[in-house]
Amino acid sequence: MRLFNTLSRALEELRPLDPPRVGLYTCGPTVYNYQHVGNYRTYIFEDCLKRALRLCGFQVKHVMNITDVGHLVSQGDEGEDKMEVGAQREGKTAWDIAKIYTDAFIQDCRSLDLLWPPEVLCKATEHIPEQIGLIQRLEAKGLIYRTSDGLYYDTAKFPGYSRLAGESHIAGIKEGFRVDANPEKRGATDFAVWKFSPKDQKRQMEWDSPWGKGFPGWHIECSAMAMKYLGESFDIHCGGVDHIPIHHSNEIAQAEGATGKPFVRIWLHGEFLLMNNAKMAKSAGGFVTLAHLKEKGFDPLDYRYHCYTAHYRKQLDFTWELLESGKTARRRLREAAAAVKGEALQPITAELDKAFRAAVGDDLNMPGAVAAVWDCLRGGAPAGAKRAFLEQAESVLALGLFRDEAQAPLPAQVQALVERRAAARAARDFKLSDELRKDLESRGILVEDTKQGQRWRRK
């Protein structure tokens, strides 16, 4: 696989640190409100990455964080914690808000057919000791200074702070810095790693620390949890392009400042979803959620198809008319796939396999991957080869091509036979497994063994 590394600004061949294992960290949601479809564009691209890595034979350890504390309403470490704001807005506790919107996020991820759950889904509030430990390492290196409202990372002491975002972008941040916003900050790009609880304001989320009662900054959680679960250096880190200049630059500074080692080998960033020529954002109001799509008669997978109409590094327009086009295209694709649903599997032809894998392996060229599927359906390959190819493509695209088939449950007696055969196969009792296969086939159920285990389908 070749992937575009934001850090090097070039396409690079993926060479994992410990092949075939790949360590993958993706920035998860701040759970103070519903996520909008712009957020989910990023999660869909990351899901395609994970699925494509598996297709290529890699073993993926995927870590995603849940930000349930510490994300302030301003990128400049000003204002209230978003969780506290959400609690005030809805008259609930910050802990209740975190649970409500974490649950909503998980439900949305499942409706988009994201591979769920990640190997590790970690909450910031459950990793306060790790974050404090990382801050202590930075303090011991002389990278932290104290102000009246918290502890700050001195970015002037970290050479190469601008590597990810670029010198001109960092210069722009410095130019727009308002000294009156926080006159105690030594530099415009310095950022909080620990905030002290305001003496005149009751906080719902706060912890004791060596520096006083308070709560962690937003950026420290990702560095601490990524290193806890993936090591001090790992393979791939993903997020939206809005994370590049601040959040991800700060993650690098924290991790590498503490360890002296390269933090992440490849950084991937998804572009914005645009609505009315503007980035979709909660701060602008009127953002669109998956619930809104469902209310208008769209399946979340219609939106997933729409996301495949542009490369993840290109901006994508969102309109209801474009989504309607995606719905129609996905329906036609499912209808075409249905024509080869019942065919017996045959080996995928080299031509079909090469076209799809070439697109997916070329920095996740999903428009090209979808085009390869349409070419397959229109082409003259044997029906069984088409069926096998479609199943392989569906393992990456996740467009529900065989959802009706997969969702229809087996009768209890037949399901018991399927499970009994799997157990026989695992015990290497091949005589019994073959007998059960024939029994199932007589009942209209075809069973085959794959690298991923036993799978079945109706005749």
450 beta partners: 453
pLDDT at position 358 is 97
Q: Are 393 and 249 within one domain?
A: no
Q: Are 368 and 415 within one domain?
A: no
Q: Are 167 and 258 within one domain?
A: yes
User: How much is the pTM?
Assistant: 0.87
Q: Are 324 and 443 within one domain?
A: no
pLDDT at position 293 is 95
pLDDT at position 454 is 86
Q: Which of 228, 247, 270 is the last residue of a domain?
A: 270
Listed residue (202, 347, 264, 186) closest to 27, CA to CA: 264
Question: By the 8 A CB rule, do 40 and 108 touch?
Answer: yes
The predicted-structure confidence for 189-205, as pLDDT tens digits, reads as follows 999 999 999 888 789 99
- Write the single-letter amino acid at 237: H
Q: Which of 384, 405, 426 is the last residue of a domain?
A: 405
Residue 319 sits in a domain whose CATH number is 1.10.730.10
Compute the distance between CA of residue 323 and CA of residue 171 in angstroms, rounded to an integer. 39
Q: Are 31 and 127 within one domain?
A: yes
Question: By the 8 A CB rule, do 75 and 250 touch?
Answer: no
Q: In this structure, what are the phi and psi dihedrals at residue 383, rounded to the nearest 5 degrees?
A: -60, -40
pLDDT at position 402 is 85
Burial of residue 411, with CB atoms counted within 10 A of its CB: 0-12 exposed, 13-18 middle, 19 or more buried = exposed
Q: Are 300 and 365 within one domain?
A: yes
Please give the tally of structural domains in the chain: 3
Q: Are 75 and 199 within one domain?
A: yes
Q: Are 321 and 444 within one domain?
A: no
Q: Are 315 and 447 within one domain?
A: no
Compute the distance between CA of residue 258 and CA of residue 232 in angstroms, rounded to an integer. 10
Question: By the 8 A CB rule, do 191 and 250 touch?
Answer: yes
pLDDT at position 408 is 56
The predicted-structure confidence for 382-431, as pLDDT tens digits, reads as follows 999 999 999 999 999 999 998 765 555 667 788 889 989 989 988 889 99
Structure tokens at 304: 């997933």
141 to 90, 145, 154, 288, 351: CA distances (angstroms): 42, 11, 11, 45, 56
pLDDT at position 338 is 87
Per DSSP, the three-state class of 229 is helix
pLDDT at position 281 is 79
Side by side, the strands of the sheet bearing 273-275 are: 278-279, 273-275, 316-317
Q: Are 297 and 187 within one domain?
A: no
Residues of the chain with pLDDT under 50: none
167 beta partners: none
Residue 38 sits in a domain whose CATH number is 3.40.50.620
pLDDT at position 254 is 98
Q: Which of 270, 296, 311 is the last residue of a domain?
A: 270
pLDDT at position 199 is 86
Q: Are 244 and 122 within one domain?
A: yes
The range of the structural domain enclosing residue 396 comes to: 278-405
Contacts of 2 by beta carbon, 8 Å cutoff, 6+ apart: 11, 12, 13, 14, 361, 362, 363
Question: By the 8 A CB rule, do 192 and 77 touch?
Answer: yes
Determine how many CB atoms are found less than 10 A away from the CB of residue 48. 23
The predicted-structure confidence for 133-180, as pLDDT tens digits, reads as follows 999 999 999 999 999 999 999 999 999 999 999 998 888 877 777 666
Per DSSP, the three-state class of 251 is helix
Q: Are 173 and 27 within one domain?
A: yes
